[in-house]
Amino acid sequence: MDARGQNPRVAHEVLDEAGFHVTDEPVDLSAYAWEDWVSFALFWVLAGVVFYQVFTRYVLGDPAGWTEEIARYFLVALVFVGAAMSVRKNNHIQVDFFYRLMPRPMGRALSTAVDLFRCAFLGYATWLCWLLIERIGRSRMAIVDLPMGLVFGAMMFGFGVMFLRSLQVAWRHWRQGYSVLERPEAEGEAR
């Protein structure tokens, strides 16, 4: 008997007779890469900091001053590492309408140019973050006595992962002979 005084076996049989299948599918975590788990951890640390901020402000009446700054920096890290997930999945905002209007060879050339431009931009942004860390990375945060290089390091890490993932996406598009821009109906095929 369960807490309500019902036999769980009988309840399960009733559901089976009614056509409800109550078996869970196995959990498949293979769709997630390591940057997904880093983003997941950053999100929960951010959630913990924000919860602590709300708790100290509204329950204790004495807000912890460091939480706002640290929450802001964790949000920055979460955005840049989370963007690497989008690059890997190739699901950033894109307009594929014009690709339907242009000839196939032109669409292929343009989508290859988009891949190359994305790689170049993300590589350049990684390099700019490195230069920024060299110049102002040792300056201190406003409230917490930590170097700002940690924040810029998280940005550089995110850009670096995005750059590497963009190279993988461009290589995948080159091998398969099309990109999602050219064939949006094939979006989930090659992941």
First-to-last C-alpha distance (Å) of the chain: 46
Q: How confident is the model at residue 40 (pLDDT cuts 50, 70, 90)?
A: very high
pLDDT for 186 beyond 80: no
Residue ranges of the domains in the chain? Answer: 8-186
Which residues lie closer than 8 Å to 181 by C-beta, 6 or more apart?
94, 96, 99, 107, 110, 111, 114
Compute the CA torsion angle 30, 32, 35, 39 (nearest 10 deg): -140
Task: Supply 191's token pair.
Answer: 């992941």
Q: Which residue did the predictor score with more confidence, 23 or 173? A: 173
* Nearest one of 89, 80, 85 to 172, comparing CA atoms: 89
Beta bridge partners, 140, equal 147
Rounded Cα distance between 31 and 165, Å, is 15
pLDDT of residue 48: 97
Residues in the chain, overall count: 191
Which of 17-31, 110-124, 133-147 has the least mean pLDDT?
17-31
Q: How confident is the model at residue 182 (pLDDT cuts 50, 70, 90)?
A: confident
* Nearest one of 146, 157, 154, 153 to 69, comparing CA atoms: 146
DSSP state at residue 140: B
Average confidence score pLDDT of the chain:
87
Helix (H/G/I), strand (E/B), else coil: 178: coil
* Nearest one of 118, 89, 114, 119 to 99, comparing CA atoms: 114
Average pLDDT over residues 42-69: 94
Rounded Cα distance between 156 and 92, Å, is 19
At which residue do the structure tokens 């007779």 appear?
Answer: 17
Which of 58-72, 85-99, 143-157 has the least mean pLDDT?
85-99
Secondary structure element (H or E) that encloses residue 125, with its range: helix 104-136
pLDDT digits (tens, 9 = 90+) for 102-139: 898 998 999 999 999 999 999 999 999 999 999 998 99
Average pLDDT over residues 81-94: 88
pLDDT of residue 9: 59
Q: Considering the entire predicted model, what is its pTM?
A: 0.80
pLDDT for 191 beyond 60: no
Helix (H/G/I), strand (E/B), else coil: 147: strand
